[in-house]
Every structure is written in C-alpha cells, then in structure tokens.
Amino acid sequence: MKKLFFVASFLMVLMVAPMVMAYTVSIDRVAGYYSGNGGEFTLFPSFPVTSDYVPGKTSGIVAGAPNFQSFCIESTEYITIPGGPYDAVLNTGAVYGSNGSFDPLSKGAAWLYHEFQLGTLANYNYVGQNTVQFANRSLAAADLQKAIWWLEGESGGDSNAYYSKLIVDASHFGSDTAAKADNNGLYPVGILNLWDVGYVGVSGHQHQDQLVCIPAVPEPATMLLLGSGLIGLAGFARRRFRK
C-alpha cells in the first residue's frame, strides 16, 4: 500500500508540474509567408506541436525541427530574425500592450487564428496561388496580420483589410465592440510572451507576443482534483488494508 500511495503522489506531481514548466521558443520567417513587418512567423518550440495544426499548411513549413505558423498581436514589438531561443510564457494577452499595460487577446483575433491554424480560414491562400483573392500566400498573411492588429487596437491595423470587421463581425460577433471584447477562453488560443532567457518578468527583456493554439488538456483545477482524488483513494485503500 505504501507503494500505491507513492505512485499516486508521483502521478499528481507529474500532472501539475507541466503547468509551471518553462519552455523556450526560437523564431524565424520564411520567404513567401509574410509581407513587410507582419504576416506569418515560424516558431520552433521546445514543447510538442499539437495536432490542431495542419502539417504542410500551418505546421512543418520548415523541414527538420518541429515548427508552427503564428502571428504577432503587437504592431510596435520587434525582434531579430532569426531570433532565440527565448523563454516562452503562455498567457491570455500581451504583457505590455500599446499603452504599456496588459492587453488581453480579443475574441475576433482568437477566432481568426483558430480558423487559420485548423487550415479552414475561408479564402486564405494556403497553397501559394489563388488568383481570385490573392496573388500569393504572403499577401494573404499580410491581410490577416492587419486584421489581427485592428482587432487588438494596434496602430498598424487596417480595418479595410480583407479579413476585417466585415467577416468577423457579421459572421460571428455582430459588432466591432463584440469582436474586440476579451476572448476569455472562448476559443482555444493563447499568447506566448517571449522573454530573454532567464529574465521573465523583468522590464526591458520582453520581446514579441505570438499567437499559439492551446491543446485540449484538463484545466489546472481539474488536474489538481484528479491528483488529490488518486491520493485519497490510495489512503483509503491503505487504511482498509491495515484493518
């Protein structure tokens, strides 16, 4: 029974530990996937790329190390390309927004990226040529980047971009105000705050904030309850065995 109790305790530690584990990310850009300062970024994470990304469309663009495609949410944050590794912290928004305070991810931007990473964003040019809407993927990426910036209230945003308020508001949210409201977990999308290694939380060491798909895992409270339940069952079994 001591062994059962130890195993249950160890399982709880394993389940809780990833929630506080530090990850690193390197970042690059691939020709044909961006235009100007915006567009698609290619991220090389130390954590596994989830199956919610589509190989060849939104992940695995570069051969070799696992990677996925992302967009930044702050138009005034810059980074050296290629850059990293950086410490990456999963968050619900940018640590330092345009006004220097925390800037939550909007529902509209979360929805756009969710559709993008699933490979189902309407009319997005995933294959390189689509003469009806775009000349190539870089123009599609630039338009989507502008829409994300606009939804996040960034100066680099353009409300006339193809993926703008017309699609987001009319199809899903009904108004500009609703599309720009906080995501609050509605769509499984988060923000990776990138920091110089070893300087998480230190002003002046924060870099870009990148969109990322959040894998479908139990919430921390659920994991903690499950682990506590295992320990409780082990303790109960131990008491019964002593009787």
pTM for the predicted model, two decimal places: 0.78
pLDDT per residue over 117-137, tens digit each? 999 998 888 876 544 444 578
Residue 128 pLDDT = 61
8 inside domain? no
Domain boundaries, position 151: 23-220
138 inside domain? yes
42 inside domain? yes
Three-state secondary structure readout of the chain: CHHHHHHHHHHHHHHHHHHCCCEEEEEECCCCCEECCEECEEEEECCCCCCCCCECCCECCCCCCCCEEECECCCCCCCCCCEEEEEEEEECEECCCCCCCCEECEHHHHHHHHHHHCCCCCCCCCCCCECCCECCHHHHHHHHHHHHHHHCCCCCCCCCCCCCHHHHHHHHHCCHHHHCCECCCCCCEEEEEEECCCCCCCCCCEEEEEEEECCCCCCHHHHHHHHHHHHHHHHHHHHHHHC
28 inside domain? yes
Residue 114 pLDDT = 96
234 inside domain? no
Residue 135 pLDDT = 57
Q: What is the domain count for the chain? A: 1
- Above 60 in pLDDT, residue 189? yes
Residue 62 pLDDT = 93
238 inside domain? no
Residue 123 pLDDT = 80
**Is residue 241 very low, low, confident or very high in pLDDT (cuts 50, 70, 90)?**
very low
2 inside domain? no
CA 43, 79, 197, 92 dihedral sign is negative
What value does the mean pLDDT take over residues 210-218?
Answer: 76
125 inside domain? yes
